[in-house]
Amino acid sequence: MKKQLKAPAISLLDKYTGDAFLPLYSTTVTVSGGTTAHGRASGIVRSDDGNLALELRLPDALGGPGGGTNPEQLFAAGFAACFHGALNLLAVKARIAIDDATVDVAVTFGRDPVDGLYTLTADVRIHLPGVPRALAEELIRSTERVCPYAKMARQGIVCVVALVR
């Protein structure tokens, strides 16, 4: 018999008052180059716990063969899942039923006019059937303040890039 899954506790919404970043969970995902020795074109992505194992493929829209996932889809999936989770936590706390809520995140890869290289844009669309518009808008604005992906998209992220030998 499968164990019953439970939603996260709303205590995750409790404010933290420490002086430094407090890690709660960490994961590592590794990409290797696959058959073309190029992660974007034919790589493999694996998480340290083995729960994520996917083939990466350059989308046909970028001249690739398709047939696998790509970084934009992975980012959109993470953003949508995180926003949906935060939305649900806030709804539970406020005793608002959002059983049919969905979050769509469209990520677009394109050219950056600032430096001539590449950038991403994200379009987040939330569907809250049966929730009055003013209440839905308030819930979404609160979720934007709670969701780490929304914060990262708005404020940036601490990122350290280092060569490991």
Q: What is the per-residue pLDDT across 27-44, written as a single tens digit (0 to 9) for each? A: 999 999 877 777 777 889
The architecture (CATH level 2) of 26-69 comes to Single Sheet (2.20)
Strand partners, 31: 45
pLDDT single digits (tens) 55-95: 999 899 988 888 899 999 999 999 999 999 999 999 999 99
Domain ranges of the chain: 26-69, 70-158
Does the domain formed by 70-158 have CATH 2.40.110.10?
A: no
Q: Which of 103, 88, 86, 99 is nearest to 129 (CA)?
A: 99
**What's the pLDDT score for residue 147?**
97
**What's the pLDDT score for residue 27?**
96
Query: Can you read off the two tokens belonging to residue 111?
Result: 């050219």
Amino acid code (one letter) for 40 = R
Q: Which of 87, 89, 99, 93 is nearest to 136 (CA)?
A: 87
Q: Which of 118, 112, 105 is nearest to 144 (CA)?
A: 105
Q: How far apart are CA 53 and CA 46, in angstroms?
A: 4
Give yes or no for residue 14 having a pLDDT over 90: yes
Give yes or no for residue 143 having a pLDDT over 90: yes
pLDDT single digits (tens) 100-136: 999 999 999 999 999 999 999 999 999 999 999 999 9
97 vs 7 pLDDT, higher one: 97
